[in-house]
Amino acid sequence: MLFRFSTTAIDAAGARLELRDAGAGGFVSFEGWVRDHNEGREVIRLEYEAFQQLAVKEGDRIVSEALRRFPIKHALCIHRVGALSLSDMAVWVGVSAVHRGEAFDACRYIIDEVKHRAPIWKKEYYRSGDSGWVNCDHCAAAPHHTALHDPRRHAPG
Amino acid sequence: MQRDKAALPYRGKSQLDRAVELAARHCARVFVSVRPSQVADPLRAAHPLLIDSLPGEGPLVGIRSGLAAFPDVAWLVIACDLPFLSDAALEYLLQQRDPSLMATAFKSAHDGLPEPLCAVWEPAAGAALAGYQAAGGHCPRKFLMRNAPKLLAPLDERALDNINTPAEYAAAHAALDAADLDVMKLQIQYFALMREQAGRSEETIETTAATPADLYGELTARHGFTLQLEQLKVAVNGEFSDWSRPLAAGDAVVFIPPVAGG
């Protein structure tokens, strides 16, 4: 399995061991953490929700693409669902490869594509007491499909 | 069958109402042919009536009464006990019609004889029918057999089957239900903002929506979704789908709001 969900804290140390390979000269990982602010608002916690049936398929496709595009050994992505607190790990991506360059590139590719394509949603709870679905609540009146699905528009993770 | 065949219900609608609606999709005006004794029947009286105006009774008198009331127009005559008669069959009949003959009719799939009660009767048939009846004739089928109408092979063997026994009625019901693809059940799952707006994670609905795009319009009217269709993606049966894909009964549909993983 190249992509999976976790309902509890992600075990990054254990996940890293799944990618060990005697032929690999390097390992790169990315961790997305819950940040205390977004778009000028003070965030106190998050909830992640996923359409898991399709998200696992799409996540598997993304990691498979990375394994084809880059000369890497192994790759894995784990995403949290449920309630998360500040500094909790929301997503983990790991890649092992013969050389570091491809490992960095593949890791970047996987996290960017997951943020862009996997049916996963994030609800932010703010210090002010209200809450909102990222990319949905503030954009309901302004349909700009590509901009809304652009992962670079929102920094967290 | 002891019951009034015109009153037999198919999906909550009487066979007569179904036949009138069918004819109205193809004709300028529609009348229900009745004997004078049927004028007060509420089922029939709900429609414009064409009351037998000539001596005798039966379909021949009904057809003659129509041709007498509006002598300059052709009449599409259909029996009201043909539950399988379709728009396609009537379109074909009208397209194939030959106004230079007495009539254009389907022929029975069973015996090849003309079906006078699924036919277009031309104005010229009025006088000929009067002569036929005056000579003692009473059967419109025999009249057609003598008067060389244009005959059409039915498009569908069953199209002209009529219903004469409770068993035939039950079989027609089952066949119509099986053929009915208009109303179907779908499974809908909601996530994130749409789950909150719908007030539920999933539901089973009955719909006539042909595509996911139609379905989103219908569900937005019901649940007040604020996202525009252009902001969404859609999945059918666990895989991303086109908005114009035809939906089928039992499909599982998920609308996908703008995503925010990572």
Contact A133 B192 (CB under 8 A): yes
* B66 exposure class (CB count in 10 Å sphere: 0-12, 13-18, 19+): buried
pLDDT attached to residue B163: 74
Q: How many CB pairs under 8 A join A and B?
A: 98
Contacts of A105 (CB under 8 A, 6+ apart): A70
Contact B259 A91 (CB under 8 A): no
- DSSP secondary structure string, B211-249? SHHHHHHHHHHHH---S-GGG-EEEETTEEE-TTPPP-T
Q: Is B237 on the interface with A (CB under 8 A)?
A: no
* CATH code 3.10.20.30 region(s) in chain B: 184-256
Nearest CA in chain B to A115: B261
Contact A111 B191 (CB under 8 A): no
| pTM of the model as a whole | 0.57
Exposure b/e, B141-164, CB count within 10 A at least 16 = b: bebbeebebbbbebeeeebbbbbe
- Residue A144: pLDDT band (50, 70, 90) is very low
pLDDT attached to residue A13: 97
SS3 content of chain A, % helix, strand, coil (to 5): 30, 35, 35
Rg (CA), chain B: 25
Compute the mean pLDDT over every residue in chain A, rounded to the nearest whole number: 90
pLDDT attached to residue B167: 75
Question: Architecture of B184-256 per CATH?
Answer: Roll (3.10)
Kindly provide the ipTM of the predicted complex, given to two decimals: 0.86
Contact B231 A54 (CB under 8 A): no
Task: Identify any residues that bridge with A43 across adjacent strands, giving them in sequence order.
Answer: A126
The CATH class that applies to domain A3-153 reads alpha beta
Q: Is B258 on the interface with A (CB under 8 A)?
A: yes
Q: Is B197 on the interface with A (CB under 8 A)?
A: no
What digits encode the pLDDT tens for the residues B167-215? 777 777 666 665 554 678 999 999 999 999 999 999 999 888 889 999 9
The CATH class that applies to domain B5-178 reads alpha beta
pLDDT attached to residue B179: 57
* CATH code 3.90.550.10 region(s) in chain B: 5-178
Distance of CA B155 to the CA centre of its chain: 15
3-state secondary structure of B58: coil
Angle at B4 between CA B2 and CA B10, to 5 degrees: 110
Output the six-digit token pair for B82: 């043909």
Residue ranges of chain B with pLDDT lower than 70?
A: 1-2, 11-12, 173-182
What digits encode the pLDDT tens for the residues B102-123? 999 998 888 889 999 999 999 9
Rounded to whole angstroms, how far apart are CA atoms B146 and B133? Answer: 13
Of A121, A143, A145, the CB nearest to B260: A121
In this structure, the dihedral spanned by the alpha carbons of residues A109, A111, A115 and A119, taken in order and rounded to 10 degrees, is: 100
